[in-house]
Amino acid sequence: MATQEYKAWSVVIASTVSFTVCFMIWMMFAVIGIPIKSMLSLNETQFGLLIAMPVLTGSLIRLPMGIWTDKFGGRIVFFILMLSTVIPIWLISYATQYWQFLVLSLFVGVAGGSFTVGIAYCARWFRKDQQGLAMGIFGAGNTGAAVTKLVAPLIVVAFGWTYVPQVYAVLMLVIAILFWFFTFSDPSHKVSSNITIKQQLAVLKDPRVWRYSQYYSIVFGGYVALSLWMTKYYITEYGFDLKMAALMAVCFSLPGGVLRALGGYYSDRFGAHTVTWWVLWISLVCLFFLSYPPTEIVITTLTGPVSFYLGLGPISFTIFMFTMGVAFAVGKASVFKYLSDDYPKNIGVISGVVGLAGGLGGFILPILFGLLVDFTGVRSSAFMLMFGIIWTSLMWMYFSEVRPVHAEKESIRKNTATAE
């Protein structure tokens, strides 16, 4: 008979592999959306909507998925979720009109709900002091975004974009079956049947939930949005072909997924607040440089006009994106460490709420990116938007977390001095 430790790690490994495949499919339009854009002659806003549609469904479904995971257990919910996406994925290869792609992408987007199911499912198999690491390992499935950028362009170039959804549909079916055989259920992980949905949703009145949702809309929503946007950005900004652009975009997507486990380790060791605080500051610095549009300056001198060019080349741009990808990876884990610390008994619902916010960020941001580019003509306007959002979040964190702690320490110091 399998030991509890064996079951726990088997669940984490099987769930992580499954989540990786789900994320590959969730991010599929980041690659196949480019030939579809050309085929349908879409503008930037239409393209942004196309690649963001799967994210919408995957976001909206996260809250009910969290509730069902608490009620019925993560194993059965995860399995059914994966099976439900196989046929819609396959049908994408037969779509020919814009509305058909939008409708099918909504059904495919259900795969994005796997995160909420898996994060709660895995966390409950471990002690509190190990949950950050376990959730971080599972969250490393975000590397599916990088895998798609490596695999899908090869399929597109060799066979055409229609083969990508067909290959992915078969892959999803196989992984769903393997998941079922290598995972386990534990009735003690379910919430009491006497607890109603209304009672589960009562946590929405807690302001901390909304603050954590804001953090996650950056580190996860921003990660998803930029993962969807970067391949096309490299093509339009630097003139790369599809394979090279996707490969360069991996420099952001890969660390943004793989290093999430490292974020879980640091969060267990240093605390969720400290790690998240530094994640936001590092991201802000990167976005400051990424936001600056390519600029030519002409200075009139005694010997005539002298021109200067200011802007990021592809190498320096990629270095900043890589750094921000690392920061986002650590931040995704640190935000969920907040949840496991504060809401250990209903983490499914809370992760559903926070995951919903993160997913909506991933849906809304690509559309806003497209609108900004169409309106301003400045491609780096996407990073300007992200810079403003992170600055706002840092101010919120300062006044809600940092300042109260400083005030409490100062009060203790004064009381100690008075007592002496």
Task: Report phi then psi at 299, rounded to 5.
Answer: -110, 130
d(CA 69, CA 74): 5
Greater confidence, 151 or 346? 151
DSSP bridge partners of 306: 299
What is the average pLDDT across 130-134?
77
Tokens standing for 173? 């079916």
Written as one letter, the residue type at 220 is: F
Give residue for tokens 């300007």.
384
Which of the four pLDDT bands, split at 50, 70 and 90, describes residue 195? Answer: low
| 342, pLDDT greater than 80 | no
Delineate the domains of the chain, giving CATH numbers in brackets.
4-419 (1.20.1250.20)
Beta strand pairing call for 295-301 and 304-310: antiparallel
pLDDT at res. 343: 75
Task: Report phi then psi at 192, rounded to 5.
Answer: -60, 140
Percent of the chain with pLDDT over 70: 90
Instruction: For the chain, give the mean pLDDT.
Output: 84
Burial of 408 (0-12, 13-18, 19+ CB in 10 A): exposed
Which of the four pLDDT bands, split at 50, 70 and 90, describes residue 227? Answer: confident
Contact 326, 132 (CB under 8 A): no
Task: Report phi then psi at 328, rounded to 5.
Answer: -65, -40
What CA–CA distances, in Å, run from 263 to 73, 216, 318, 356, 391?
Answer: 26, 14, 21, 21, 21
d(CA 162, CA 321): 30
DSSP bridge partners of 297: 308
Helices 128-139 and 114-123 pack at an angle, to 10 degrees, of: 150
d(CA 26, CA 402): 36
d(CA 129, CA 344): 12
DSSP bridge partners of 296: 309
pLDDT digits (tens, 9 = 90+) for 68-109: 887 888 899 999 999 999 999 999 999 999 999 999 999 998
Q: Where would I find the H helices in 259-346? A: 260-270, 272-291, 314-342
Greater confidence, 411 or 226? 226
Q: Give the residue among 2, 360, 306, 28 at the shortest CA–CA distance from 162.
A: 28
pLDDT at res. 208: 82
Contact 382, 51 (CB under 8 A): no
